[in-house]
Amino acid sequence: MKKTISRNAFAKINLGLDVTGVREDGYHLLRMIMQQIDLYDTLTFTASDPAGTESGSIRLIDESGLSPEGEDNLICRAIRMMLERYDLRADMEVRLIKRIPVAAGLAGGSTDAAAAFIAVRDLLAPDITDRELMELAVGLGADIPYCIAGGIKLAEGIGEKLTPLPPMPDCYIILVKPDEGASTAKVYRDLDALEGYHHPDIDGQIAALREGDLKGLAQRCENVLELVTGKNLPVIGRIERFFIDQGAAAACMSGSGPSVFAIFNTLEEAEAARGKFLQTKEASKCRIFLCRPVS
C-alpha cells in the first residue's frame, strides 16, 4: 500500500541576528528574529510497505543534483530519525524540487528536513505533536524546530527556544544570492576572535512588530555575522548599498551569508529596483528573487 503527500519548504531570512555568548559545548547562543518568505522547495513523499524486515529504505531523488546522495543528507537523516524514534516501518521515496539556493544563509537544508519530519508524521504517525517533532529535530539542526513552527519567531538559545511574534507588516523583499559562499563554522570562529562588537536592537524590532511599524523594524535590521562575512565578501556591502540607494527601507545579510535581502514598501518600488539591479554587472553573478513574508 502506498501513500503520497507533498509539502512546500519555505526559506527564511534573519531580520535581526545577534550572538550573545558561547556554550561550554561550543554552540553559540543566539537572539534573532526569523521570518519565512515565499521562496520554497517542494518535496513529495511516498511511503510504502517495506520490502524487508528492517524499518525501511529511503530514496531521495533530486533532479537538481544539489543534495548529497545516499542517506547522508538532512532529508534522509530526518526520515531515519523518525522511523527509529517511533518504531515506524516504511520504504520512503522523496522527490525534491529545489528552488532555495544552497549554502546561502536561508535555511534551505533545515527547511527541507523540517518538511521531512512533518511528512513522516502525517503519513505514518499523525498523533505526534509539533512540539514532539521540534524536540526531536533540534538534535539534527538548530534551525529545524523553527522551520517546523514557521512564520515569524524570536529564536533564542542555539535557535531552538521560539517565541511567536506579530506578523511582519506587508512588504516586498528582493533576495539576492551571490555566487560566492561562506563557511558557517569559519564565520563563527572569526566572530569569536573579535574583541567586541555592536549588538543589534532586537527588542526594538519586537516593539516595532507589535506596533505594525515596518519603518521602525527595517531601520533596526542588523546581523552581527556580517562583520565577518561582509569583510571577506565585499559583494555583500555593494549589493546592500545599491538597494539602499534605490529606496529600500533596509538591506541586510541573512544568516551567515552570503544572501542579501532588501525590504520595499510597495511592489512597484521593488520591481523598479530589481530591474535596475538586473542591468548591473553584479547581477550576472547572482540569483535574484522577488518575495513576500509568509505568516
- Which residues are catalytically annotated? 12, 143
Tell the residue number behind the cell numbers 518504531, with chain if given. Answer: 87
- Nearest Cα residue to 7 out of 116, 91, 108: 116
Q: Contact, 42 vs 76, CB < 8 A?
A: no
Amino acid at 23: R
Report the alpha-carbon angle 166-169-174, nearest 5. Answer: 125
Distance CA 193, CA 137 (A): 30
Whether omega before 258 lies within 30 degrees of 0, making that bond cis, reads: yes
Give the single-character DSSP code of 52: S
Cα-Cα-Cα-Cα dihedral of 210, 215, 219, 223, to 10°? 60
How does strand 152-157 pair with strand 28-48? antiparallel
- The number of beta carbons lying within 10 Å of the beta carbon of residue 205 is 24
Residues constituting the chain:
295
